[in-house]
Structure 1
């Protein structure tokens, strides 16, 4: 009985967030059109209760960014460092993961630029964000700024590129030094677990935060927000579909000459499981088992590439971040320069290494990507409510990318059974 109740609770969060999104939108529209203007509506309700609770939740998310990303990246880099012992398999896997992530962001930016999901929202910039957005940064300086002068200054100000650089450096050294630094490596692994738990705890407050954020948004702009929100969802779903059913399958055919339709048919149960759980980590055992029994991939390859993929290959998350950047820039009326777009591609690709395979953690790293191009992190409030639905789709894309890469590497290494793949099991 207790187990059943726990399962019900787990399913409850996404349902609660969705209900909060709908009720928040309805309440916001009712406040906008039917509640008379005055001190109670404007000062106490909209800019008081809704503002404090909504932005309080955003602050909780921002509080997690630096420690979560730093520890996740150190652990991700430690995993990459271990791959040196696996020689060509490790190198091929990592290169494939990084290339597909960069491709995913390009797909997302391209589709979002065609659909223009944020055009027409015209949201006023926060005062502090206006200064950031209008400041032009020299590209050479941006490259130099990746190397921190003082890592503690970067950590305290949340300057993400130097943090990423330092975390990767630390992680690679920890992996190279092995048992000599096992205490420090364990510290980062355990602190990373703490940050994961904290993220899950903060996400429990998401329904209240989403309700307040969405209600405040709709209270200010009424029905005008509906169409851009639908366009945002459409952009993300289309980009995910292109990545999953076009980019991955073309790569699978080009590198292995296997039938992509047969691959999708055999792997589809794993995709539906990932969709329902919204976590890449929970799908690892099922992925390895399906790849071995139905597709013909040796467990020696998949037991290495699949867990690594769950750590460093988050193409679905990168797609959401690419579309979100365009959406938020258009919503606030901030033009994206070619240098800013290049920065988004680089930052989101590197950030995917540190995005853990737990529900909605992509929203935390999104604030890092926004900061890297001078966009206000308040924009996350616009997409917070519908993100849980998209998160389920993103996870399915993430694990499909891991499986395609694993199949390609296994085929090239001669660790692939074609008879298993051809069999109708």
Structure 2
């Protein structure tokens, strides 16, 4: 397999998974379907295993590393601003698309049989805000509550900045743990071609195309909305504001986008996203070490902007609820402000629940969409991860922190594990 690039290996895994999935579906080969399911589950399980230590140390170290970056406050502010701008533009296009295609119009579903989904207290803004604060530090990690882990990482990172040199032993430990987790996770990522075959094969063998029939318009709308963001919004921003070639950007970023599509996890893709951002797109390492982990836990244009907007319109039309201008403005507000609720994990149930509850729409609508969520989550996560790379490029370009020679060079091979970088010396 070393004769093939990592990107080509992923494509081969994707093709093999689709073929095997159709074989299992058409000829009802139960053992093959079970094998594909198990392979996909094991791959995702390995990715999730690293989530708590990876998110905590990545966020903590990224916040602490800001002291090594000149103009850190300005960089952080610009990054957050671009996060908000791209989220708003994405949700605006999604709402417009929803009004054009009317995804729920004419759809007949058994809404009486739909059950409200238990979202563990994430149905209201108050629950969302209070849910950020962990009642128990250990529980936040054992239950893999990414939002609470991010909160703890930000607080301890800020505290380390305030303490100064006395916090250096703790930061060195955090950096060491981060390097160890990233190295181990890279070994898991190298298994992605096999995991890809399992995940895609499982989706095809389980769902086929039959399940999409009553929800075809919504499914097509989500893919179309994400593709508009991927192929129109981001390239325009890169070309007009970033003054860089969008084709070159996508050539460089493709391995991370592809892995995000099949893994359905922004956090699981984080090590590869960061490598691509630094080694292929030429973003300054110190800035990228803050922006990429921050984006992987808060920057969700697919899950938090495109999908909730279209899904809310769909649910409203299915349940016969008329939405007004104020409701569409609320959708935009929730998408822009509440994107951290998705927290980099697979799926967007929490974000959709937050949107529906804000609009006063039936939460049973979430249950109607759960069946096709894995299929939609692929393109949503690919959109998320692409946005997480676009913003650092835009900010780095405006701040003179983009190495154009690296950006324009032939893509660096990702077949080897990233070299461990020594811990930075405090300023």
Fold equivalence (TM over 0.5):
yes
CA pair 78-102 structure 1, distance change in 2 beyond 3 A: farther
Within the candidate set 367, 370, 393, 2:353 is matched to: 367
Q: 8 Å contact 1:125–1:376 — kept in the other structure?
A: no
Q: How does 1:16-415 map to 2 (within 5 A)?
A: 86-121=72-107, 160-164=124-128, 187=136, 190-196=138-144, 227-318=213-304, 319-360=306-347, 362-415=348-401
Q: 8 Å contact 1:121–1:332 — kept in the other structure?
A: no
Gaps of 5+ in 1: 1-10, 24-74, 130-154, 171-183, 200-213, 215-222
CA pair 255-110 structure 1, distance change in 2 beyond 3 A: same
- The alpha-carbon deviation at position 419 of structure 1 amounts to 1.0
TM-score (norm 1): 0.61
- The alpha-carbon deviation at position 161 of structure 1 amounts to 2.5
CA pair 81-371 structure 1, distance change in 2 beyond 3 A: farther
SS in 2 for 1:236: helix
TM-score (norm 2): 0.61
CA pair 126-84 structure 1, distance change in 2 beyond 3 A: farther
- The alpha-carbon deviation at position 424 of structure 1 amounts to 2.1
Q: What value does the CA root-mean-square deviation take over the aligned residues?
A: 3.8
SS in 2 for 1:95: helix
1:315-344 deviation digits (Å, cap 9, x = unpaired): 110211111001110111111111111111
- The alpha-carbon deviation at position 83 of structure 1 amounts to 9.7
Gaps of 5+ in 2: 1-13, 27-56, 148-206, 412-427
CA pair 232-157 structure 1, distance change in 2 beyond 3 A: closer
- The alpha-carbon deviation at position 364 of structure 1 amounts to 2.6
- The alpha-carbon deviation at position 81 of structure 1 amounts to 8.6
Q: 8 Å contact 1:83–1:91 — kept in the other structure?
A: no
- Equivalent residue, structure 1, for 2:175: none
1:373-394 deviation digits (Å, cap 9, x = unpaired): 1111111122111110111111
Query: Counterparts of 1:112 and 1:348 in 2: how far apart (Å)?
Result: 15
- The alpha-carbon deviation at position 194 of structure 1 amounts to 3.7
CA pair 228-80 structure 1, distance change in 2 beyond 3 A: farther
What is the number of equivalent residue pairs in this alignment? 295
**Which structure has more helix as a fraction of its residues?**
1
1:168-191 deviation digits (Å, cap 9, x = unpaired): 7x7xxxxxxxxxxxxx79x45x44
